[in-house]
Amino acid sequence: MRIHGLLLPINPDSPEPLYLQLAKAVIAAIREGRLRPGETLPGTRELAEQLKVHRNTVLQAMRELQAQGWVVMKERAGVFVADVLPAFTPGSPPTPPSLEPSFVLPRPLDPLSTASTVKMDWSEGLADVRLAPTEAMAKAYQRAMRLKGEELLSSGEFQGQRRLREALALHVGQQRALSLQPDQILITRGTPMSLTLVAQALVGPEGGAVAVEDPGLPLIRDTLRQASGSVLHPVPVDGEGLRTGELAKLLETTRLNLLVVSPQAQAPTGVSLSPQRREELWALARAHRFAILELDIEYDHLPGQALKPMAAEDKDGLVIYVGSLSRLLAPGLRLGFLAAPGDFAIKLAKARQRMDWQGDRVVEWAVSELILDGDLGRHLRKVKKATQERRASLEAGLAARFGASLAWTPHVGAMGLWAEGRGELLDPKRMEAWITACALLGVRLRSGAFFDFHGGPLAATRLGFTAYEPAELEQGLDLMAKALRPGA
């Protein structure tokens, strides 16, 4: 591979000959790994123009390097870094830069997982990329570039492609009974961005009070904390969803800015907010005038006939709705959306402009094609069928292997199944040990403590199953059973 634009510092005012300076700069680049054995150096004319020196100076430097064994000069081919390099003088390589920060961190950072033994990651429910309509997406992308290439590669609306916002308004109107105008919709790069925008626009750096579900997703809590000076208040969840009675007690002493809730499929438990609790939540929100952020990113995977989102019933402008296209199409797409009442939608759009001027306009146009051409609707039906089959397979497999050790509610949840420990897994420590053993055999799970607001012991786990076919789920369950009873 030929290298271009290589940084080779030389000083014309130095008494040292320029060709020697250049030779030493090339040697330093080789020692530092910026030039590797076999790579082609820039041409002598290119280097001469770059360094503002005579070409003969460059040729003299190359001959010096060849004499020392650092490069090989081939007629009509170029100058190559030698495959076998001279031995480095002891102490000559520069000290490598530190890979650790020397500045003070506000709090310890969570390490990234580097486990290489994991074959199946059940820690989160994700879309199965094998189901993605890749051919339709490729054709839509090609049409976008062919018909609108110059326009889409230019700067555009920071709210997101209007064509996609119009298509989304149509889609969620048909699928979720949401009555939205395109100007209410903002395209984002996923749920963390949606949460960050809302927290920054609603709470701000001066801080405020935000209520979250407990147990809940650490991603939500961490994003809210980092995006603003929010003080988070956990509100417990039971079989009917958010415990509105506990929320009412919190409101007696706290001026709440925002409540983050998942009425359709609470993560991680999967439960839906009961109709009575919905009415109680509406009454509290109207009385205390706090905003409701309705997180509905797994709607497309819900079993059976789902309830309407709360945003579809909002007559008072209290709900900010967050949805996801990545959960339906593919996690790597990084495409989400949020919808908000009038003036607040404008404020969110301005916050979006400051954070990230615009998203990927070509992808947004292509996805709008999928919606308008009916490809997304066909894909949605395929995904719903696959999710139903996989859920049934998982529940049957769990019953056969863990009937006395785990308990769950059938047909509850969207992309994950919440299983609580029973019998030998009733003890949280035993549950943690089993989850560790599962990881060693290749199946990653999350313990209940991961979702608990305070990180306390919780004998439960969430099984994200949507990315795996029934046969793969069977393999994973076999490994999990082996982890629980190694000698069986």
Give the architecture-level CATH label for domain 1-99.
Orthogonal Bundle (1.10)
Q: Which residues contact 357 (CB under 8 A, 6 or more apart)?
A: 155, 158
Rounded average pLDDT over 184-191: 94
The reported pLDDT for the residue numbered 284 is 98
pLDDT score of 112 more than 80: no
Q: What residue segments make up the domains of the chain, in order of their start? A: 1-99, 120-129+381-484, 132-377
The helix (run of H) or strand (run of E) holding residue 372 is helix 361-373
When pLDDT is cut at 50, 70 and 90, the band that residue 90 belongs to is very low
CATH class name, domain 120-129+381-484: alpha beta
Contact by Cβ (8 Å): 51, 8: yes
Q: What percent of the chain has pLDDT over 90?
A: 74
What percent of the residues of the chain are helix, what percent strand, and what percent coil, each to the nearest 5? 45, 15, 40
Confidence category of residue 91, pLDDT binned at 50, 70, 90: very low
Look up residue 482 and give its two tokens.
């082996």
Q: What is the pLDDT of residues 160-173, one digit of tens each?
A: 899 999 999 999 99
**Tally of CB atoms within 10 A around 462:** 27
- Report pLDDT for 3: 66
* 3-class SS of residue 146: helix
Strand partners, 74: 78
Lowest mean pLDDT across 65-69, 114-118, 461-465, 478-482: 114-118
pLDDT digits (tens, 9 = 90+) for 49-62: 999 999 999 999 99
**Distance of alpha carbon 85 from alpha carbon 81, whole angstroms:** 8
More confident residue, 468 or 5: 468
Please give the structure tokens belonging to residue 178.
């949401």
Tell me what the pLDDT averaged over the chain comes to.
90
Model confidence at 314: pLDDT above 90: yes
CATH of domain 132-377: 3.40.640.10
Supply the DSSP string of 103-131, one letter for each residue. SPPSSPPPPPP--S--SEE-SS----GGG
The answer to whether the beta carbons of residues 159 and 185 sit under 8 Å apart is yes
pTM for this predicted structure: 0.82
Mean pLDDT of 396-424: 95
Q: What is the pLDDT of residue 244?
A: 98
What pLDDT is recorded for position 266? Answer: 95
- Token pair 């000959």 in the structure block, residue: 17
Residue 354 binned pLDDT confidence (cut-offs 50, 70, 90): confident
CA gap 43, 48 in Å, rounded: 9
For 101-110, 147-156, 438-447, which range has the lowest pLDDT when averaged over its residues? 101-110
Considering only CA atoms, which of 423, 384, 387 is closest in space to residue 403? 423
Range list of β-strands (E), 179-314: 185-188, 208-214, 230-238, 241-242, 258-261, 291-295
192-232 pLDDT per residue, tens: 999 999 999 888 777 789 999 999 999 999 999 988 878 99
Q: 221-224 — which CB contacts under 8 Å span 24+ positions?
A: 221/453, 223/192, 223/195, 223/196, 223/199, 224/195, 224/199, 224/260
Model pLDDT, residue 484 = 94
**Residue 480 CB partners (closer than 8 Å, separation 6+):** 401, 402, 438, 441, 443, 445
Other Cβ atoms closer than 10 A to 43: 15
> Using 50, 70 and 90 to split pLDDT, how confident is the model at 488?
low
To 10 degrees, what angle do helices 470-484 and 428-441 make?
A: 120
